Amino acid sequence: MEKNPLGIIGLGVMGRNLGLNLIDHGYKISGYDRDNSKVRALKEESQGVASSFDSLEEFVHSLESPKKILFFVPAGQPVDQVIQELLPLLKEGDILIDGGNSFYQDTERRQKQLKDKKIFFIGMGTSGGESGARHGPSLMVGGDREAYEILKPMLEAISAKADGEPCVDYMGRGSAGHYVKMVHNGIEYGIMELIAECYDFAHKVLQWNEKQISDLFEQWSKEELSGYLIEITVPILRKKDDKTDDLLLNKVLDVARQLGTGAWTSEEALKLQIPTPTIDAAVVMRNLSSRVEERKEFNNQFDTHSSPPVLEPTVHQSIAQELKKALFLGIICTYAQGFSLLREASKNYEFGIELEKVAKIWRGGCIIRSKFLEKSRMAFSKNPNLSNLLLDPSISQEIKENNLVSSLRKFCSLSLSSELPIYAFLSTLSYFDGFRCGRLPANLIQLQRDYFGSHTYERVDSQGIFHTVWE
Ligand SMILES: NC(=O)C1=CN([C@@H]2O[C@H](COP(=O)(O)OP(=O)(O)OC[C@H]3O[C@@H](n4cnc5c(N)ncnc54)[C@H](OP(=O)(O)O)[C@@H]3O)[C@@H](O)[C@H]2O)C=CC1
Ligand SMILES: O=C(CO)[C@H](O)[C@H](O)COP(=O)(O)O
């Protein structure tokens, strides 16, 4: 029997679509899932091109050597279970690829576990959701470079293309691929929360309807704000509910669920002491949204409101312009925070991540793709050691020339007087102001630490460590 170059385990949303994408590009694949109906469905959908198996032994046997097996099963225990089941069937040199959203420390552990057996374990962050997997995802690959080189032609063929370049690359050693995907998702959380806060403002303060707001987002998606998350907000705002006459949006419970990657990003940033306040705020607001009972109680208990500013319709268009600029700066700062975290993590964990490559493969296929990523790519290409995107001369020039900071400030102050929760925008503004204000009140904190704990301090006028005898 002719052997196939790649096998996929887990034929749900991602595995099934990536399998069909591979077949479109001329690769014959084998598929396996613990749910036999999914195995049969793939065979039918691929018109028999995919070889599908109900037994793991037959599945592994159908693959050419070295065996290349990609899994798309839920992160956590299912990945370990699949590895355990596969181990007796594998030989030295075989390559396992985890395409799911696994936690990077789990990936490191699995790589160590399989190294002794000389089996490669690649952590591959995959982004683009269902349609990306089907028509071209962004693929963030980490682990052994030798194994990546074997997989490269196949991955390049199925990945999205941005300006003709494949949106896949080797991110670095160990769990670098899953780490980059984790930060991608943190940025995704930040941008989604900023967009939601914009919508809330247009809806509650400008009192625009969803048609007007979707037209605004549609306009933005053709300008410098152009990006996938802005784009998909347009049809989402316009979608009719199929059960009622209302819009679907009005029928959806206001609780934002999460699978964990955003919170992992914030936890990592805290651990490495890199400020990522927009991402943190996005996680916090998802958490707050889920406290449904407390929110109801608060709503009853604190039901008095100050009178919000009245905005005449004549100023609406100019406020919408400020809103656009505030969102643009919010998005720039979210990317800046994500890239700063990646830079620090790469140093700390010795991943060897090149930020230019990250920006390059995020330009297409992934959920956070946007026009701004080309500017980020150029910034890191000019200066691979750039510690913060906001320090790039052309990006800072763009922020200044377009008065983005004053728009963000105006938007925040209007929202605050309208009692809108805009935690992501406020955090972004404080991030910006905190970096540029010259002198922070951290000197006072230092003296408080020294007062109660003799923790010492440094002076602005002489080198060394100082302590004051306080009493
Ligand atoms: N959906 C998305 O947009 C994206 C998802 N991801 C990540 O990709 C991974 C897969 O996600 P997705 O495709 O959405 O998930 P799905 O739940 O759609 O598919 C997972 C499949 O794996 C099967 N499975 C679970 N455990 C095992 C096992 N031990 N052996 C064999 N098959 C098993 C499941 O079967 P059963 O149904 O019986 O449990 C299911 O068919 C996750 O880590 C996810 O976070 C990454 C990027 C985007
Ligand atoms: O990886 C993804 C997109 O890039 C997945 O869709 C992920 O599930 C999104 O995260 P969450 O479910 O926590 O919102």
**Ligand 2 centroid vs 138 CA: distance in angstroms?**
14
- Given the DSSP bridges, would you call strands 6-9 and 29-32 parallel, antiparallel or unpaired? parallel
Provide the pLDDT for residue 308.
76
| Residues with a known catalytic role | 181, 188
CA dist., res. 234 & res. 204, Å (int): 18
Provide the pLDDT for residue 292.
97
Provide the pLDDT for residue 303.
85
User: CATH 3.40.50.720 residue ranges in the chain?
Assistant: 6-174
Residue 266's CB is within 10 A of a number of other CB atoms, namely 20
Nearest-CA residue for ligand 1 atom 3 is 129
Provide the pLDDT for residue 299.
93
Judge whether residue 53 has pLDDT over 90: no
* Atom number in ligand 1 closest to CA 79: 29
**pLDDT-above-90 percentage for the chain:** 96
Provide the pLDDT for residue 155.
98
Residues of 306-321 as b/e, b for ≥16 C-beta within 10 angstroms? Answer: eeeeeeeeeebeebbe
Residues of 96-126 as b/e, b for ≥16 C-beta within 10 angstroms? Answer: bbbbbbbbbebbbebbeebeeeebbbbbbbb
**Ligand 2 centroid vs 346 CA: distance in angstroms?**
23
Best of 187, 259, 264, 369 for a ligand 2 pocket test (most atoms within 8 Å of beta carbon): 259
Q: Give the ipTM.
A: 0.98
* Atom number in ligand 1 closest to CA 367: 48
**Ligand 1 centroid vs 127 CA: distance in angstroms?**
14
Average pLDDT over residues 311-329: 95
- The CA-atom distances, in angstroms, between 465 and each of 145, 302, 440 are 45, 49, 19
Average pLDDT over residues 408-412: 98
Looking at every residue in the chain, the average pLDDT score rounds to: 97
pLDDT, tens digit, for every residue of 182-203?
999 999 999 999 999 999 999 9
User: CATH 1.10.1040.10 residue ranges in the chain?
Assistant: 182-436
Contact 9, 39 (CB under 8 A): no
Confidence of residue 430 (pLDDT cuts 50, 70, 90): very high
Q: What is the phi/psi pair of residue 239, to 5°?
A: -70, 125
Indicate the CATH number for domain 182-436. Answer: 1.10.1040.10
CA dist., res. 374 & res. 388, Å (int): 16
Provide the pLDDT for residue 278.
99
Residue 468's CB is within 10 A of a number of other CB atoms, namely 10
Confidence of residue 305 (pLDDT cuts 50, 70, 90): confident
Judge whether residue 52 has pLDDT over 90: no
pLDDT, tens digit, for every residue of 30-50?
999 999 999 999 999 999 888
Nearest-CA residue for ligand 1 atom 14 is 13
Contact 126, 181 (CB under 8 A): yes
Average pLDDT over residues 125-141: 98
Residue spans of alpha helices (H) in 273-389:
277-289, 292-301, 316-349, 355-362, 372-382
Fold of the CATH domain 6-174: Rossmann fold (3.40.50)
Confidence of residue 304 (pLDDT cuts 50, 70, 90): confident
Nearest-CA residue for ligand 1 atom 18 is 12
Among residues 285, 300, 107, which one has the least CA distance to residue 192?
285
* Atom number in ligand 2 closest to CA 184: 4
In CATH, what is the architecture of 440-471? Up-down Bundle (1.20)
What lines the ligand 2 site, CB under 6 Å?
A: 101, 127, 129, 185, 188, 258-259, 261-262, 367
Average pLDDT over residues 91-99: 98
* Atom number in ligand 1 closest to CA 261: 45
Task: Return the ligand number nearest the Cα of 286.
Answer: 2
User: CATH 1.20.5.320 residue ranges in the chain?
Assistant: 440-471
Judge whether residue 470 has pLDDT over 80: yes
**Ligand 2 centroid vs 174 CA: distance in angstroms?**
22
Terminal Cα distance for the chain, rounded: 86
Provide the pLDDT for residue 268.
98
pLDDT, tens digit, for every residue of 251-295?
999 999 999 999 999 999 999 999 999 999 999 999 999 999 999
Contact 230, 217 (CB under 8 A): yes
**Ligand 1 centroid vs 9 CA: distance in angstroms?**
9
Best of 9, 34, 159 for a ligand 1 pocket test (most atoms within 8 Å of beta carbon): 34
